[in-house]
Structure 1
Amino acid sequence: MTVTKMSWRPTYRSSKFRNVYGKVANREHCFEGIPITKNVHDNHFCAVNAKFLAIVTESAGGGSFVVIPVTQFGRIDPHYPKVCGHQGNVLDIKWNPFHENIIASCSEDSSVRIWEIPDGGLRRNLTESVLELYGHSRRVGLIEWHPTTSGILFSAGYDYKILIWNLEIGEPVKMIDCHTDVILCMSFNTEGSLLATSCKDKKLRVIEPRSGKVLQILIWNLEIGEPVKMIDCHTDVILCMSFNTEGSLLATSCKDKKLRVIEPRSGKVLQLQGDGNIRYYEFTLEKPYLQYLMEFRSPAPQKGLGVMPKHGLDVGACEVFRFYKLVTLKGLIEPISMIVPRRSETYQEDIYPMTPGTEPALSADEWLSGINRGPVLVSLKEGYNRANKLVFKAPVKDKKGGVVNGIDLLENVPPRTENELLRMFFRQQEELRRLKDELTQKDIKIRQLELELNNIRNSPNINNNNNNSSNGSSI
Structure 2
Amino acid sequence: MYRFKSSKYKNAAPKVPKKEGWVSDINVGAPQSFGNHIKCSAAFKVFNVDNRGGGCLGILPLNDAGKKTRGVPLLHAHAEFVTDFDFCGYDDSLLATCSHDAYVKIWKIPQALLTEAVQANAKETLKPSSGVCRLETVSWNPVVDCVLASSANNKLVLWDVSKAKEISTNSCHEELLQSVSWKADGTKLVSTGRDKTIRIWDPRVQDSCAYAQGHANNRDSRVVWLGNTDHVLSTGLGANREREVTLRDVRNLQNPLKVLAGDSSLGIYLPLYDIDTNMLFLVAKGDITVSFWEVDIAKEPFLYECSKYLADVQTKGACLVPKRALSVMEGEVNRIQILTKDCIVPISYHVPRKSYRDFHADIFPDTRAPVPANVAHEWLSGKNNTKVPLISLDPSKRTRDLIRFDHELGTGAATEWLTSDVGVAGADGNQRNFLRQQTVAVDKPSLAPKPAPRTKLVPAKSVDESSNNKFNNNEQHNNGRHHQALDNKVKRQPSKGGGFKVRVSKYRHLNGNLGTRETQISNLPPLCKTIPGESEGFRANATRVAIPLATSGGHLAILEVSKRGRLNAGVLPSLICGSNIMDFCWDPFDDSRIAIACDDGRIRVWSIPENGLTESLTKPDFELKGHKDKVTLLKFHPSAKDILASASQDQSILIWDLDQQTYVYELEGHTDQIFSMAWHPDGSLLATVSKDQRLRVFDPRRSAEPLLTGLGPSGTRGARVCWALGGTHLITTGFDKVSARQITLYDASSLTLIHTEGIDVSPAILIPFYDEDSSTLFLTGKGDATIFCFEVLADTPNFFPLSHFKCPGPHQSVSFLHKNACNVAQVEFATCFRLTTTTVEPLAFKVPRLRSEFFQDDLFPDTRVTWQPTMTSKQFTDLCGKVPARVSLRPVQMSQLSDAPEVVRPAPKFTPSAGENRGSNYFEVNESSNRLRQELLIASMKQRIQYDDDDELPQDRMQGADDNEWSE
Same fold judged by TM-score > 0.5? yes
Counterpart contact for 1:202–1:237, Cα < 8 Å? no
Task: For 2:592 and 2:531, locate their aligned partners in 1 and report how far apart those are by CA, in whole Å.
Answer: 28
**1:129 deviation in Å?**
1.4
1:356 corresponds to? 864
User: How far apart, in 1, do the equivalents of 2:808 and 2:594 lie?
Assistant: 32
| Distance change (3 Å), C-alpha of 1:79 and 1:382 | farther
Q: State the partner residue of 1:137.
A: 628
2:813 maps to 1:304? yes
Alignment correspondent of 1:159: 650
The aligned counterpart of 2:672 is 181
1:382 to 879, 891, 901: 891
Q: Distance in 2 between matches of 1:316 and 1:165?
A: 39
Shift of the 341–84 alpha-carbon distance from structure 1 to 2, 3 Å rule, reads: same
Question: Does structure 1 residue 37 correspond to structure 2 residue 534?
Answer: no
Contact 1:82 1:122 in 2 (8 A): yes
**Which residue of structure 2 lines up, in the alignment, with residue 15 of structure 1?**
505
Partners of 1:49 and 1:119 lie apart in 2 by 14
How far apart are 1:215 and its partner, in Å? Answer: 2.1
CA contact (8 A) 1:198 1:238 kept: no
Match of 2:604 among 97, 102, 113: 113
Is the 2:531–2:581 contact (alpha carbons within 8 Å) kept by the matching residues of 1? no
Q: Residues 79 and 126 of structure 1: is their aligned pair in 2 closer, same or farther, counting only changes over 3 Å?
A: farther
Cα distance change, pair 171–40 in 1 and its aligned pair in 2 (3 A): closer
Show CA shifts across 1:139-160 (max 9, x none): 1111000111011001111111
Asked if 1 retains the 8 angstrom alpha-carbon contact of 2:657 and 2:664, the reply is: yes
1-structure distance, mates of 2:453, 2:809: 38
Does residue 337 of the first structure (1) align with residue 827 of the second (2)? no
Following superposition, the deviation at residue 303 of structure 1 comes to 2.0
Match runs of 1:56-455 below 5 Å: 56-60=548-552, 62-79=553-570, 81-210=572-701, 211-220=703-712, 234-236=714-716, 239-256=719-736, 257-276=741-760, 278-298=787-807, 300-328=809-837, 331-343=838-850, 344-357=852-865, 358-382=867-891
Q: Distance in 2 between matches of 1:261 and 1:325?
A: 26
Distance change >3 Å, CA 33–CA 12, structure 1 → 2: farther
2:678, 2:687 within 8 Å by CA — same for their partners in 1? yes
Kept in 2, the 8 Å contact 1:260–1:272? The answer is yes
Normalised to the residue count of structure 1, the TM-score between the two structures is 0.72
* 1:213 CA displacement: 3.0
Query: SS at 2:547's partner residue?
Result: strand
* Corresponding letter in the other structure for 1:19: H
State the secondary structure of the residue aligned to 2:557: strand
Label 1:68 to 1:45 Cα distance change in 2 as closer, same or farther (>3 A): same
Please state whether the residue corresponding to 1:15 is helix, strand or coil: coil
What secondary structure sits across from 1:324 in the alignment? strand
**Displacement after TM superposition at 1:175 (Å):** 1.1
SS of equivalent to 1:274: strand
- Percent sequence identity is 30
For the residue of structure 2 that corresponds to 1:53, the secondary structure is: strand
What secondary structure does 2:542 align onto? Answer: coil
Distance 1:219 1:108 in 2: 29
Deviations 1:394-437 (A, max 9, x none): xxxxxxxxxxxxxxxxxxxxxxxxxxxxxxxxxxxxxxxxxxxx
1:394 is matched with: none
Q: Secondary structure at the match of 1:150?
A: coil
User: What amino acid does structure 2 have at the position aligned with 1:48?
Assistant: A
CA contact (8 A) 1:204 1:238 kept: no
Give the Cα separation in 2 of the matches to 1:83 and 1:338: 31
Contact 1:111 / 1:133 at 8 angstroms: preserved in 2?
Answer: yes
Give the partner amino acid of 1:99.
D
Cα distance in 1, alignment partners of residues 682 and 630 from structure 2: 29
SS of match in other structure, 2:803: strand
AA partner of residue 843 (structure 2)? I
- Does the aligned pair in 1 maintain the 2:692–2:716 contact within 8 Å? no
1:168 counterpart SS class: coil
Task: Summarize deviations over 1:160-187 as a string: whole Å, max 9, x none.
Answer: 1111111111111111121112211111
Structure of greater relative contact order (alpha carbons < 8 Å, 6+ residues apart)? 1
Q: Which runs of 5+ in 1 are unaligned?
A: 5-10, 223-233, 384-475
What does residue 386 of structure 1 align with?
Answer: none
Distance 1:345 1:80 in 2: 45
Amino acid at match of 2:662: E
Match of 1:55 among 547, 550, 554: 547
Q: Distance in 2 between matches of 1:302 and 1:3?
A: 38
Q: Could you tell me the TM-score, scaled by structure 2's length?
A: 0.36
Distance 2:521 2:878 in 1: 44
- Residue 241 of structure 1 aligns with an amino acid whose one-letter code is V
Q: Which has the higher mean CA deviation after the structures are superposed, 318-327 or 42-51? A: 318-327
In structure 2, relative to structure 1, the CA distance for the partners of 1:14 and 1:369 (3 Å cut) is: same
RMSD: 2.3
State the match for 2:428 in structure 1.
Answer: none
Aligned with 2:733: secondary structure?
strand
- Label 1:12 to 1:50 Cα distance change in 2 as closer, same or farther (>3 A): farther
Between the aligned partners of 1:50 and 1:138, the Cα distance in structure 2 is 33
d(CA) in 2 for partners of 1:63 and 1:237? 25
* CA-to-aligned-CA distance 1:208-254 (integer Å, 9 cap, x gap): 1222231222225x8xxxxxxxxxxx444551121115100111111
| 1:43-95 per-position Cα deviation (integer Å, ceiling 9, x unaligned) | 211111121111122112x1111112223222223445433231112221211
Residue type at the aligned position of 1:56: P
What is the rounded CA distance, in whole Å, between the counterparts of 1:379 and 1:27 in structure 2?
A: 32
Kept after mapping to 1: 8 A contact 2:593/2:605: yes
Distance 2:561 2:504 in 1: 35
Task: Please name the residue that 2:916 is paired with.
Answer: none
- Change beyond 3 A, Cα 1:204–1:127: same
Q: 3-state DSSP class of the match of 2:707?
A: strand
User: What secondary structure, in the 3-state scheme, does the structure 1 residue paired with 2:825 have?
Assistant: helix
Alpha-carbon shift at residue 326 of structure 1 (Å): 2.1
Secondary structure of the corresponding residue to residue 820 of structure 2:
helix
C-alpha distance in 1 between matches for 2:502 and 2:639: 35
* Most deviating of 182-191 and 301-310: 301-310
Does 2:536 match 1:28? no
Give secondary structure in 2 for the equivalent of 1:119. Answer: coil
Give per-residue Cα distances to partners, 1:330-364, cap 9 Å, x unaligned.
x2223222111123212222222222332211111
Aligned equivalent of 1:449: none
CA distance in 2, matches of 1:77, 1:3: 58
Q: Which runs of 4+ in 1 moved over 4 A?
A: none
Q: Is the 8 A contact 1:243 1:251 kept in 2?
A: yes
Contact 2:673–2:691 (8 Å) recurs in 1: yes
